Structure 1
Amino acid sequence: MTLILMARTIACTLTSFLLLYSPVTMAQKLPVLEPPGAAYQSIAVLSSKPNEGRKELDTIRYPWAEYSKGALGNALWRTVYLLPADEAQLPGLIQFPASSSDQTRAELDYLLKLQNSRTQQEIDRANYIANIGSWPNILNPTDPDYQANREQLYYILSTATGKQYDYSQYPATTTLLLNCIQDIRVTEFRLKQVFKRPRPYHVEPRLQPLTRISSPSFPSGHSLWSYTEAYIFAELFPQKRQDFIKVAAEVRWSRELLGIHYPSDNEASRVIGWHLLKSWYKNPRFVADLKKAQMEWSSK
């Protein structure tokens, strides 16, 4: 009997080891990226090339004076799971339309329409979402933002399920999410430096943004973390994938309602988020950390 128990223990230990450290990745099992929503598709079919009749708009740049030191410094962090070769490919996956293009004109008209129809309830919701978003540099437990910063890692999951989760009860998942958010933030600010797209309110003076942001427009940081985290949680709870994406879509909408992001900024973030997850699967460290998180939830 003792030998049987020992054999079972060894078998379980070996299985756990293989689950955690197997070099085989699951990138090929990723769900395909959903197509853009119908509203964006109707805009994306328009020309993204410069329009000679509005060529002066293409001379507008993101004002250097508005660029914060923090936004510049965030690009200097190191990635955790994202490998350099994969990061180098990200800028080639996205491109914003020329400021003078028919597509940008349609996006600006859409933002003006939102501005003219937004309700106080919608504004309050968008402002609430604006304060969501974790940062990898809040590491000191005595920092007044430490707890909220970790709780917000679970925003997508909590909103989709209607439940609150104590991050301290899920250490493997929290570690995974903290490492992912570091990659997300580095990616966000490095891409912003590459493209330096002016904000919508720099191009369209009739826009009255409800806040101003101290970094370029493309891609959207809020949409990047929300969609990427939606894809991560979908790896933990595949049956809730569309629920998570729905929450990310609300975050996306909030940035447009505030008048601070073009729809194409948000669409680029959705695409980059999916490619981040695909790239992470090439890194055995991510695969091991994800499997630890999956085992953590299966044991609850």
Structure 2
Amino acid sequence: MRAFLVAFSLVGILLAGPVSADPKPDGAYVRSGDVDLVALLPPPPIAGSSEDKADIAAVFAYEKARTPETSDRAKADNEMTIFRLAGVVMGPDFTPEKLPVTTAFFDKVKRDSGKPTEAIKAYYNRPRPAAAALSLQALLPLPKNAAYPSGHTTWARLNAIVLAAMVPEKRIEIFARADEYADDRIVAGVHYPTDIAAGTIAGSLIAQKELENPAFNTDLEAAKAELRTVLKLNATQ
């Protein structure tokens, strides 16, 4: 895990270069080439290495510790919507029906996490835990793409950063829920701990690039105003 921390300490330097003049992102706000996760993240553990064996052991430990409650939550957390991720934190008024601007905004945010993660998944092509350890019983059908890094975790961390900027009063709860959501990928048997660690960094890197985009910040302020009005929160936060 130390390698992940060292890598994360360097990425701010690597991302601080000049912004390209090309104004057309292939995501909603970010071009996939602006966040080169192959360059910015450490590689996954080598198959058969001590770190790889520790990853496999951790997944089996999670399987053994499953309860009906955690299993049900892990299955439900396969859903990638901001309302599934943060509804338990934000309360009953946090619904797409009441928040059309916020819904559209987070749909756009979601687009920015896809291409960067798919590129690095294809590059390393790390097998899912249940494919590498056939005795493991996954709770979900195995996705067809590779394991590293976790796309759900990347998306959850990105969304947590954005949502916390909109509702800073709930920052602690938002990040705790994003961590739980990410952890549920291990509970479900579809990811290793190092996939989760890498996804957490990846989501942070993508969020940093979004925050550099004026169009993103304009849309963020519009969604923030709607959300804070619906939740009856002080508009000056």
- TM tier, smaller: 0.7 to 0.9
Cα 1:110/1:299, change in 2 over 3 Å: closer
Letter in 2 for 1:115: E
Among 37, 40, 44, which residue is 1:90 paired with?
A: 37
Cα 1:225/1:45, change in 2 over 3 Å: closer
C-alpha separation between the residues in 2 aligned to 1:179 and 1:173?
10
Q: Are 2:26 and 2:32, in contact at CA under 8 Å, matched by a contact in 1?
A: no
Letter in 2 for 1:109: A
Cα 1:224/1:85, change in 2 over 3 Å: closer
Cα 1:176/1:270, change in 2 over 3 Å: same
Report what 1:232 is aligned to. Answer: 162
Cα 1:155/1:115, change in 2 over 3 Å: closer
Report what 2:51 is aligned to. Answer: 103
Deviations 1:43-97 (A, max 9, x none): x259xxxxxxxxxxxxxxxxxxxxxxxxxxxxxx93110135523x332221211
Report what 2:17 is aligned to. Answer: none
C-alpha separation between the residues in 1 aligned to 2:63 and 2:33?
41
Report what 1:257 is aligned to. Answer: 187
Report what 1:27 is aligned to. Answer: none
Report what 2:18 is aligned to. Answer: none
Return structure 1 stretches of 4+ with deviation > 4 angstroms.
none
Report what 1:285 is aligned to. Answer: 215
C-alpha separation between the residues in 2 aligned to 1:168 and 1:258?
30
CA displacement at 1:214 relative to structure 2: 1.3
Report what 2:235 is aligned to. Answer: none
Report what 1:153 is aligned to. Answer: 82
Unaligned 5+ runs, structure 1: 1-43, 47-76, 134-151
Unaligned 5+ runs, structure 2: 4-24, 231-237
The structure that has the greater radius of gyration is 1
- The alignment partner of 1:163 has SS state of coil
Letter in 2 for 1:226: A
Among 175, 186, 196, which residue is 2:125 paired with?
A: 196
- The alignment partner of 1:169 has SS state of coil
**Identity over the aligned pairs, expressed in percent?**
25
Among 172, 180, 198, which residue is 1:242 paired with?
A: 172
Deviations 1:76-128 (A, max 9, x none): x93110135523x3322212111222111111111112222322232122112
Letter in 2 for 1:127: K
Letter in 1 for 2:139: L
CA displacement at 1:231 relative to structure 2: 0.9
TM-score, normalisation: structure 2: 0.79
CA displacement at 1:190 relative to structure 2: 2.5
TM-score, normalisation: structure 1: 0.63
Deviations 1:208-263 (A, max 9, x none): 22332211101112212222111110010112112111111111121111211001
Q: Are 1:99 and 1:203, in contact at CA under 8 Å, matched by a contact in 2?
A: no
C-alpha separation between the residues in 2 aligned to 1:297 and 1:115?
37
Report what 2:6 is aligned to. Answer: none
